[in-house]
Chains A and B, each alone.
Chain A
Amino acid sequence: MHNHASLKQRLLMLALAMIAAVWIVAAAFTYFDARNEFDEVLDAHLAQAASLLAVQASHELDELDTEHAPQLHKYARRVAFQIWERGELLRLHSANAPQQPLAISKPGFSNNVIDGNHWRVFTTWNDSGEYLIQVAERADVRNDLARSIAVNLLQPLLFALPLLALLLWVAVTRGLLPLDKLAREVEQRDPEALTPLDAEAAPHEVLPLIERLNRLFARIDAAIQKERRFTADAAHELRTPVAAIKAQAQVARTASAEQERIHALDNAILGCNRAAHLIEQLLALARVDALGDVAVEPCCLSDIAAGEIAALAPLALAKGVHIELQESDMVPAANVRGNPELLRMLLRNLIDNAVRHTPSGTAVRVSISNDHGEISMSVSDDGPGIPEQEMAKISERFYRPIGTPGEGSGLGLSIVKRIAEVHNASLQFTPADNGRGLRVTIVFRQ
């Protein structure tokens, strides 16, 4: 799991981050709310102190000589007051009060900066209008109080977070147990076992994963079965020609008549050719089967057809079969995007097939048409054709219709089918024009 993001760590980090964020937001709200409350309460105190002073000033100020009031509390250093006679003469003030007025003489609350200190000031006149009373408090008192509240709120978080982390780790681990169980189950699987995973006991969230996995298993299983079948078939198909070669060679060794011996040796050579052809076709099929994306380029079907016909014509003529190329008037030419090598292989297999199955003295027709941009190529023969019910089977591997001569590999049309697939072209099997024979048509979708 190293180097990979851990689901547990992720869940844990997210949960802790969320908790911390909510806590901090709550603390912030509390802090600002508390500040507002302090402001209200402390402002009320200022106002009350001022009105007390106003009342006292009216009755007792005449009897007072001293200009300084005593200091009674540590916070008193931060609270100051001034009493001005008629707003001009400073009659009484607290020890820490400055000499200049704490604020302008307009009644009410105001904020002022004196000697670098922030003061909150309440100004009022006494009832007779003789004295101006100003009560002030240093603003940092309020800040200190609010800060200590915020710290008290946030401090538990420092201890709570590690504890929460521990508890969450346990919870997350327990919560993810079904996932661990699933992982173990998959890990301990026999690599051959492609049976579906049990979706019954799985948690809802991993169901899609299990379903996908099961579908993947099914696909892999099908592919493996197909490969196994193919290998078994291929082994079977290769054994028969080898058995034939061996049997013919043994017949040649024990033959008493010269003619018999030569016949057996010729047959052994024929068997070797057949085995070689089969091996080549197997390799070609394996190669085209493994193809993913192929390099494509514009290919002229007419050129490819002409080339392949020229290459195969001598063999066909030896069998008494003509190969004809039929092209409808094509404007524009039948150019398709494809891989020229694969298209040649496709056509070679189709023509080879047709020549094998058509009787001597008939013709194999290769035709290319361009019908409003739909380009198709077909190869037809005069052979016995394929019964309707077997049409679907003929591109299966090693399928040979009854009565076909044994020398075919049974793979030609499988190769053709695969090359058509790679070119996104469709493959159609129909009787040829004369009602018998087979016509194979490739339609290119461009």
Chain B
Amino acid sequence: MRVLVVEDDALLGDAIQADLKQAGYAVDWMRDGVSADQALTTEPYAAVILDLGLPRLSGLDVLRRLRSRSTPIPVLILTAMDTVDDRIKGLDAGADDYLAKPFDMGELAARLRALIRRASGKAELLLQVGAIRLDPAAHRVLYRDQPVELSPREFAVLHALMLNAGKVLSRARLEEQLYAWGEEVESNAVEVHVHYLRRKLYPELIETIRGVGYMIAADKGS
């Protein structure tokens, strides 16, 4: 799951990046509005955490530009300006959620999960396909009610495929979800993760669409 963090404060940005990485996200961190705007036009993020007081281009302007391109990426505003007026302005400019500084990292992560869940159109807390249940908050996967040990990247691949169950995800799309900017993408990384997932769960779970990518079939009726 790849997210963009836009925060001009070095220490705060560093902490958010570190925490989200621990939670298994691929995190890009931009420190000004213009870079954030550019990144948003090119990269497919699952969510954006946006500070409002940014140099060069304000957070609100970044948000307006994003929404003017009709991009539905969920946006969580993170700011020290927390009057009701500021919140209204932020939400009206197209934000999906609002968190005032100082905040709790756990709350930030929870809100981020909620945003991503809602954006995928799924209301349940747990993703379920067949006998596999995935808990994004706890970072846990159960197969036939038995916990399965997955590496963070394997978890991320499974999470992305289950979120998009019934749709084909290209290898490139999965790679983008797995790696932040500047991170070395290992060749065949996606193949390797899929391979392990099939072995730890069951081989038929992930279908290879040759020349296109991978998918997990949706449950009937879901």
Partners in one complex: yes
Instruction: Quote the shortest CB–CB distance from B12 to chain A (angstroms).
Output: 4
Chain A, residues 259-280, CB within 8 Å of chain B (1/0): the string is 0100110010011001000000
A267's partner among B14, B22, B80 (CB-CB below 8 A) is B14
Q: Does A242 contact B (CB under 8 A)?
A: yes
Instruction: Indicate if the CB atoms of A242 and B102 lie closer than 8 Å.
Output: yes
B101's partner among A242, A248, A254 (CB-CB below 8 A) is A242
Q: Choose among B15, B32, B80, B81 the residue with the greatest number of A CB atoms under 10 Å from its CB.
A: B15
Number of contacting residues on A, CB 8 A?
32
Instruction: Indicate if the CB atoms of A250 and B15 lie closer than 8 Å.
Output: yes
Instruction: Quote the shortest CB–CB distance from A195 to chain B (angstroms).
Output: 21
Known contacts A250-B19, A254-B19, A255-B22, A405 near B101 by CB under 8 Å: no
Instruction: Indicate if the CB atoms of A243 and B56 lie closer than 8 Å.
Output: no
Q: Does A110 contact B (CB under 8 A)?
A: no
B8's partner among A270, A274, A406, A407 (CB-CB below 8 A) is A406
**B interface residue count range (under 10 / 10 to 19 / 20 to 34 / 35 or more):** 20 to 34
- Which of chain A's residues have a CB closer than 8 A to the CB of B15? 244, 247-248, 250-251, 264, 267
Instruction: Indicate if the CB atoms of B55 and A403 lie closer than 8 Å.
Output: yes
Q: Does A66 contact B (CB under 8 A)?
A: no
Instruction: Indicate if the CB atoms of B102 and A239 lie closer than 8 Å.
Output: yes
Nearest A residue (CB) for B8: A406
Instruction: Indicate if the CB atoms of B104 and A256 lie closer than 8 Å.
Output: no
A402's partner among B56, B100, B105 (CB-CB below 8 A) is B56
Q: Does B148 contact A (CB under 8 A)?
A: no
Chain A, residues 380-414, CB within 8 Å of chain B (1/0): the string is 00000000000000000000101101110000000
What is the CA–CA distance of A403 and B34 in the complex, to the nearest angstrom?
Answer: 12
Known contacts A244-B15, A264-B18, A236 near B10 by CB under 8 Å: no
User: How many A-B pairs with Cβ below 8 Å?
Assistant: 83
Q: Choose among B9, B12, B104 the residue with the greatest number of A CB atoms under 10 Å from its CB.
A: B12
What is the CA–CA distance of A332 and B81 in the complex, to the nearest angstrom?
Answer: 53
What is the CA–CA distance of A246 and B53 in the complex, to the nearest angstrom?
Answer: 19
Instruction: Indicate if the CB atoms of A256 and B22 lie closer than 8 Å.
Output: yes
What is the CA–CA distance of A435 and B124 in the complex, to the nearest angstrom?
Answer: 61
Instruction: Indicate if the CB atoms of A246 and B14 lie closer than 8 Å.
Output: no
What is the CA–CA distance of A244 and B101 in the complex, to the nearest angstrom?
Answer: 9
- Which of chain B's residues have a CB closer than 8 A to the CB of A437? none
Chain B, residues 88-112, CB within 8 Å of chain A (1/0): the string is 0000000000001111111000000
Instruction: Quote the shortest CB–CB distance from B81 to chain A (angstroms).
Output: 6
Q: Does B73 contact A (CB under 8 A)?
A: no
Q: Does A295 contact B (CB under 8 A)?
A: no
Q: Which 9 A-B pairs have the closest CB atoms?
A: A247-B15, A243-B102, A243-B101, A244-B11, A244-B12, A239-B80, A250-B105, A236-B80, A402-B55
Given contacts A243-B9, A250-B105, A406-B11, 11 further A-B contacts (CB under 8 A): A236-B81, A240-B80, A243-B101, A244-B9, A244-B11, A244-B15, A247-B102, A247-B105, A267-B15, A402-B32, A406-B9
